[in-house]
Structure 1
């Protein structure tokens, strides 16, 4: 079972690869359904693909926007330019995009979750059109996924297992377009579903009445975040080929922790499956240390309560402080001598420590490390960092 992680930028691609992703998915400036992600230039994409391939990992290119007539020629040029870099797959939702790629290259084609594939007949149809993998709609249960995999075992099946969820059918929403003219189906969603809504009575303009769906509150469109980690062993048993983490606009800290946790979980399921349930609480505890909304197993677990009514705010228990690269700590948020921290490594383990000394330029001792500093740190107890180790601090 492949672990597929998000790569919104070149830095995130390298983090995902180093924390255990078998493959990453990345987008270019156009056609990738994530306008607010950093996205890649062709030059950056070339570097990222070479970096991943050198470590035996794969890179899939997301081109899952729906084209307008005037964009078709530019789409063809984009496909040709990317194909020369030898990625491992194209992710598309538009059936015209599938046809164009099939005519111009032999690179495998993955059908995006935006295509809303929910049944055996549609999987067969896409297979006949030349698709190699189907990223199934998020509305399916484990039973339905198993039926599809059993009926068509010779096509790859990919499932989202972690990250933010859209309140609309597989992300096909018009709310943001209507309220802000930002099209969610072209990667520019304003997340209008996260806003707080009121009712206005026809003859009482300006008087706002909260929408009380029930005693919990008013955020009636606000989806919980998906966390299918408790069901990962079931997906493995079904024969799901790839499990996918959402988050091309999330931080490198989010990419690192989620990738490391799911990597560790898959390894446990493969090598020591009877211990998975025992290890599960500790793995979920680790996922609780990233920024997230309340978790749900979603439609996979057939949970009825997928919305969170009190607020759309994130749960933030830890702050990402620094990452170790090229023999120095790159500071992402300020910290100081005496701070109690955790060092999180690529194997998914964390160690508690205290900041004993901070050195800038190799010798100048400073009291506080500020954002964008590159520094040395001495810990108590003594810790020798490895490339891509992370330090974080509990928010009190």
Structure 2
């Protein structure tokens, strides 16, 4: 029987981890407070890491921890103890590294599964083989690798796990090794603090032989260095699976719970369909991925090098989405009574959709809500973000289901 691929989701905090597993992820990748390449994320302190692994393992899921910063000398002394904590106390399933010095420290201080990060820029089979010989069990290929390249790498190095990105943001620089943000405002992309300066609007000037400067305009006026569209592979995910990869990675530790849940749910359904032997692309998958905030989609490098059509030129309206998350079902009290955590303002009488971890969205009409403020419980007709309300809804809804609003332009 063919080994099933791992569906790997981002977990920027515990809530996102919980949503990722509920909606079908096999594993999550996350960062600790130390040595992780997402400085702006919540990340997990040591106590939270221990709890995250317990939660995952109780559900037969896995946790990979990112140790993928490009470190300097003053950070190396603290690494051995942290690696030992990850293995012996937290019990994580493996670590993701980009630096050879960190690789050596992990090998010296643990028996952890090691993944070579996409930051290591692996684009050919010899590089992959070298990482294997140095102790890596898995290589996360660079995003700049085509489908044909993946097949060749698999053919030359058949006994190493291969992980590829299937959804999320794309970077203008090979494997994210960029100095633009650091140069512009002192925020280092290789330290997890990228300001995405490539996506800003610029006025470009050209200097002629006489020293005169003339403005350079793009067709739509603002000039961009590289404001890439987002990667989306749902239309050809079967071809990626045919190539023999071991893990499908969804980018986005900084994204919200609706993004994580929706992306995982769609790709979970597609992967399941593949292994059932009756895979056929469904347009509803792409429509569902378009419900969440995203830049327009591109196939990235999978079939050819990105061209001018792979960029978003209008930075003022770079993102689009057809739906907005308004609440999460925090608790099911009885057959028709629920506790909702409100994320965007909701109103009695409005028609909303409930998105669960299986099946099609359900239409509901929001009833009057019960809310408690300063020990006084009252019925209300609207509820603001960050409030918690009790509602009675005659529909089959479950804990962690998401309630969303169709945006006017999507109707």
Q: What range is the shorter-chain TM-score in?
A: over 0.9
CA distance in 2, matches of 1:295, 1:358: 38
Change (3 A) 1:75 1:208: farther
Change (3 A) 1:375 1:210: farther
Partner of 1:296: 298
Given that 1:198 and 1:209 are in contact with CA atoms closer than 8 Å, whether structure 2 keeps it comes out as no
Change (3 A) 1:334 1:208: farther
Partner of 1:133: 138
Count of equivalent residues: 388
Partner of 1:395: 407
CA distance in 2, matches of 1:209, 1:78: 54
Partner of 1:37: 41
* Aligned positions of 1:19-34 closer than 5 A: 19-34=23-38
- Alpha-carbon shift at residue 209 of structure 1 (Å): 6.9
* Corresponding residue to 1:74 among 71, 78, 83: 78
Change (3 A) 1:350 1:127: same
Given that 1:213 and 1:220 are in contact with CA atoms closer than 8 Å, whether structure 2 keeps it comes out as no
Given that 1:257 and 1:348 are in contact with CA atoms closer than 8 Å, whether structure 2 keeps it comes out as no
Deviations 1:201-241 (A, max 9, x none): 679xxx99764244675224101100011121001111110
- Alpha-carbon shift at residue 200 of structure 1 (Å): 4.2
* Aligned positions of 1:298-337 closer than 5 A: 298-302=300-304, 303-304=306-307, 305-311=309-315, 313-327=318-332, 328-337=339-348
Change (3 A) 1:90 1:348: farther
- 1:82 is paired with a residue whose SS is helix
CA distance in 2, matches of 1:363, 1:301: 58
* Corresponding residue to 1:368 among 373, 382, 393: 382
- 2:65 is paired with a residue whose SS is strand
CA distance in 1, matches of 2:344, 2:213: 39
- 2:398 is paired with a residue whose SS is coil
- 1:356 is paired with a residue whose SS is coil
CA distance in 1, matches of 2:406, 2:194: 31
* Corresponding residue to 2:275 among 270, 278, 281: 270
TM-score, structure 1 length as denominator? 0.94
Given that 2:167 and 2:251 are in contact with CA atoms closer than 8 Å, whether structure 1 keeps it comes out as yes
Given that 2:26 and 2:62 are in contact with CA atoms closer than 8 Å, whether structure 1 keeps it comes out as yes
Change (3 A) 1:73 1:344: same
Unaligned runs of 5+ in 1: none
Given that 1:220 and 1:307 are in contact with CA atoms closer than 8 Å, whether structure 2 keeps it comes out as no
Unaligned runs of 5+ in 2: 333-338
- Alpha-carbon shift at residue 56 of structure 1 (Å): 0.5
Given that 1:159 and 1:240 are in contact with CA atoms closer than 8 Å, whether structure 2 keeps it comes out as yes
CA distance in 2, matches of 1:311, 1:188: 21
- Alpha-carbon shift at residue 242 of structure 1 (Å): 0.3
Partner of 1:341: 352
- 1:236 is paired with a residue whose SS is helix
